[in-house]
Amino acid sequence: FSRMVLSSSSNTDHPNRKLNDSGGDAIRQPLLSTEEVEQNDVPPLNVLEEVPKTGFHIDVRKYRRQELAQQLRQRRHEYSIVDNLHIGIYTFNVAGLEAPKPNEEDFLEQILGSNELPDILVVSLQEVDMSALGIVMGNTQKGYSWVEAMHNTVRKVGPFAELMAEQLAGLMLFIYVKTVHQPNVRNMCADVIKLGFLGGSLANKGALAGRFTLYARRFVFVGTHLNPHPEGNQDRIAQYKRSINELKFDLPPWADDELDMFHISESTDYIDDMNVPLNPTGSLIDPLTTDYCFWCGDLNFRLEMSREDVMKNIEMKNFPALVAVDQLKIAQKEGMCFDVFQEGELSFPPTYRFDKGTVTYDTSPKQRSPAYTDRVLYMSPKPSENGDNPDGNVIIQTHYGFVDVRPSDHRPVCAHFQVRCQKSDPKMVAAVFSDTLDHFTEQLSDISLSTEGSAYCPVRSESGCGDVCKIM
Domain positions in the chain are 80-248+286-424
| Number of other residues whose CB lies within 10 A of the CB of residue 228 | 17
CA distance 109 to 398: 21
Helix (H, G, I), strand (E, B) or coil at 190: strand
Helix (H, G, I), strand (E, B) or coil at 171: strand
Q: Evaluate whether 288 touches 379 at the Cβ level (below 8 Å).
A: yes
Closest CA to 218 of 47, 394, 353, 362: 394
The larger pLDDT score, comparing residue 274 to residue 209, is at 209
Helix (H, G, I), strand (E, B) or coil at 20: coil
Strand partners, 51: 55
Q: Among 107-111, 205-209, 233-237, 440-444, which stretch is predicted with the lowest mean pLDDT?
A: 440-444
Q: Is the dihedral of CA 315, 317, 319, 320 positive or negative?
A: negative
Give the ranges where 165-306 is alpha helix by DSSP (H).
197-200, 233-246, 257-261, 265-268
Cα–Cα distances (Å) from 376 to 54, 93, 131, in that order, read: 55, 13, 26
Tens digit of each residue's pLDDT (9 = 90 or more) over 412-461: 999 999 998 888 777 787 788 778 777 776 666 554 333 333 333 433 33
Helix (H, G, I), strand (E, B) or coil at 356: coil
CA distance 194 to 459: 46
Q: Evaluate whether 279 touches 214 at the Cβ level (below 8 Å).
A: no
pLDDT for 73 equals 72
The fold for domain 80-248+286-424 equals Deoxyribonuclease I; Chain A (3.60.10)
Whether the per-residue pLDDT at 165 is higher than 90: the answer is: yes
Which uninterrupted H or E stretch holds 58?
strand 55-58
pLDDT for 255 equals 67
Sorting pLDDT into bands at 50, 70 and 90, what band is 251? Answer: confident
CA distance 307 to 184: 49
Tens digit of each residue's pLDDT (9 = 90 or more) over 377-406: 999 766 555 444 544 448 999 999 999 999
DSSP-derived secondary structure letter, 383: P
Whether the per-residue pLDDT at 350 is higher than 60: the answer is: yes
Strand partners, 455: 449, 469
Closest CA to 78 of 434, 469, 466, 453: 434
Which uninterrupted H or E stretch holds 398?
strand 395-402
Amino acid occupying residue 290:
T
365 CB-contact burial (10 Å; exposed 0-12 / middle 13-18 / buried 19+)? exposed
CA distance 453 to 419: 50
The overall longest dimension of the chain from CA atoms, in Å, is 88
Whole-model pTM: value is: 0.80
Cis peptide bond upstream of 217, omega within 30: no
Encode 99-119: b = buried (16+ Cβ within 10 Å), e = exposed.
bbeeeeebbbeebbebbeebb
Which uninterrupted H or E stretch holds 121?
strand 120-126
Q: Evaluate whether 447 touches 456 at the Cβ level (below 8 Å).
A: yes
Which uninterrupted H or E stretch holds 143?
helix 141-157
Q: What is the mean pLDDT of the chain?
A: 77
pLDDT for 135 equals 83
Q: What is the DSSP secondary-structure string of 69-117? A: HHHHHHTHHHHEEEEEEEEEEEEEE-TTPPPPPTTS--HHHHHHTTSPP
Q: Evaluate whether 412 touches 400 at the Cβ level (below 8 Å).
A: no
